[in-house]
């Protein structure tokens, strides 16, 4: 399945901007949807934060207002951003949810939502020929504050054929 539409959470956006890799998103996907709660969370960090400063000016996002969290998602007691991302993904055909939180990924998977973590975006970029190697990108994500276990890093490299 070729994913063309995504709904993305705060932490992936933040670390992608901080690691200077946010421009991978419009290269990978035709439609990048950001729930209003996620947009507010990212942009409220202030001018010193790369994501807060840059997200409002990118042309490739579509901010969507979420009126309610679906009961299936609410039962998981996730954060606002994760809940909005997964609720919208549940109602949107042919899309994937970009979330890093383990509980959010489990929730999404249990509801049949395709979920991808930030590291998985690098694997996808490598497979599509957008980047030559995932290793520098993984290190940049770690430097930007994304915690990735050595086991996960090795798995990502293996998936990327490195």
Q: For 122-133, how does the pLDDT look when each residue is reduced to its tens digit (9 = 90+)?
A: 999 999 999 999
pLDDT for position 18: 95
Spatial CB neighbours of 103, under 8 Å, sequence gap ≥ 6: 76, 78, 82
pLDDT for position 48: 81
The percent of residues in the chain predicted with pLDDT above 70, rounded, is 99
pLDDT for position 92: 85
Length of the chain: 162
Domain extents for the chain? 5-120
> What string of DSSP letters covers 81-122?
HHHHHHHHHHHSSS-EEE---HHHHHHHHHTT-EEE-HHHHH
pLDDT for position 1: 52
- pLDDT of 46 > 80? The answer is no
Going by pLDDT thresholds of 50, 70 and 90, the confidence category of residue 49 is confident
What is the rounded average pLDDT of the residues 25-43? 94
- pLDDT of 24 > 60? The answer is yes
Contact call for residues 99 and 132 (beta carbons, < 8 A): no
If one compares 42 and 48, the residue with the highest pLDDT of the two is 42
What is the rounded average pLDDT of the residues 46-60? 88
**35 φ/ψ sector (left φ>0, alpha ψ -120 to 50, else beta):** beta
For the beta sheet containing 96-98, the strands, ordered from the edge strand earlier in sequence to the opposite edge, are 61-64, 31-35, 5-8, 96-98, 114-116
Burial group, residue 85, by CB count within 10 angstroms (0-12, 13-18, 19+) = buried
> What string of DSSP letters covers 26-67?
HHH-SEEEEEHHHHHHHHTT-TTSHHHHHGGG-SSEEEE---
CATH topology of domain 5-120: Rossmann fold (3.40.50)
């Amino acid at each position: 399945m070729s994913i063309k539409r995504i709904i993305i959470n705060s932490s992936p956006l933040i670390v992608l901007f901080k690691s200077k890799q946010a421009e991978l998103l419009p290269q990978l996907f035709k439609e990048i949807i950001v729930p209003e709660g996620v947009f507010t969370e990212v942009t409220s960090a202030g001018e010193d934060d790369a994501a807060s400063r840059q997200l409002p000016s990118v042309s490739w996002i579509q901010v969507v207002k979420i009126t309610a969290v679906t009961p299936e998602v609410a039962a998981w007691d996730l954060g606002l951003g994760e809940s909005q991302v997964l609720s919208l993904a549940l109602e949107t055909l042919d899309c994937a949810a970009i979330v890093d939180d383990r509980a959010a990924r489990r929730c999404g998977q249990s509801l049949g939502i395709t979920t991808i973590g930030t590291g998985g975006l690098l694997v996808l970029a490598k497979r599509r020929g957008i980047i030559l190697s995932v290793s520098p990108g993984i290190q940049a994500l770690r430097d930007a504050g994304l915690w990735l276990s050595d086991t996960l890093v090795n798995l990502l490299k293996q998936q990327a054929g490195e």
